[in-house]
């Protein structure tokens, strides 16, 4: 089954639709989102991407990341993917949006207008093993330190977003 992404300009205005892999091969700017879910102890839920992912397979990353489909809002897509990948849903709020562009060794290019969402959940995920091979809850400060010590264990966008976040900002948004 082919998946499609929404192509946008630098202001996140829709300019078209493209098949997902083609957009990544050609490096076209498109919508994406990253979800960071915390528990009541302010531990971050990380996922380890499945080995069959088209890039960044086996790397640790934020709770969920994906692309809105052409007929979806960001919020609809976030809730859909939380359920599809992690087996739960929770209230989320948008924190910020940014663009980034990264070339991967396999020839694919991430050129994304990425909106970052945060949420809270105090349960255990029910992993979709086609999407996620493992998970862990980890204190936010410990994640930041481990990314500095072991950057090759984490996805590129996760490292970029972490540099733009701080726990006091997240706590304020999730009140």
Catalytic residues: 65, 112
- Residue 91 near residue 175, CB atoms below 8 Å: no
- Residue 20 near residue 5, CB atoms below 8 Å: yes
- Residue 112 near residue 12, CB atoms below 8 Å: no
Query: Percent helix, strand, coil in the chain (nearest 5)?
Result: 30, 35, 35
Rounded distance, CA 131 to CA 115, Å? Answer: 20
Give the phi and the psi of residue 163 in degrees, each rounded to 5.
-65, -20
């Amino acid at each position: 089954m082919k998946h499609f992404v929404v192509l946008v300009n630098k202001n996140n205005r829709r300019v078209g639709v493209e098949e997902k892999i083609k957009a990544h091969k050609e490096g076209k700017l498109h919508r994406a989102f990253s979800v960071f879910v915390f528990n009541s102890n302010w531990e971050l839920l990380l996922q380890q991407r499945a080995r069959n992912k088209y890039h960044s397979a086996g790397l640790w990353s934020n709770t969920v990341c994906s692309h809105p489909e052409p007929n979806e809002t960001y919020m609809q897509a976030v809730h859909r993917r939380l359920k599809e990948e992690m087996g739960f849903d929770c209230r989320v709020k948008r924190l910020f949006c940014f663009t980034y562009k990264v070339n991967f060794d396999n020839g694919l290019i991430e050129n994304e207008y990425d909106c970052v969402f945060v949420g809270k959940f105090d349960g255990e995920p029910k992993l979709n093993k086609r999407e996620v091979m493992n998970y862990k809850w980890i204190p936010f400060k410990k994640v930041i330190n481990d990314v500095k010590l072991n950057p090759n264990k984490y996805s590129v966008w996760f490292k970029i977003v972490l540099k733009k976040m701080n726990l006091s900002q997240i706590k304020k948004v999730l009140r």
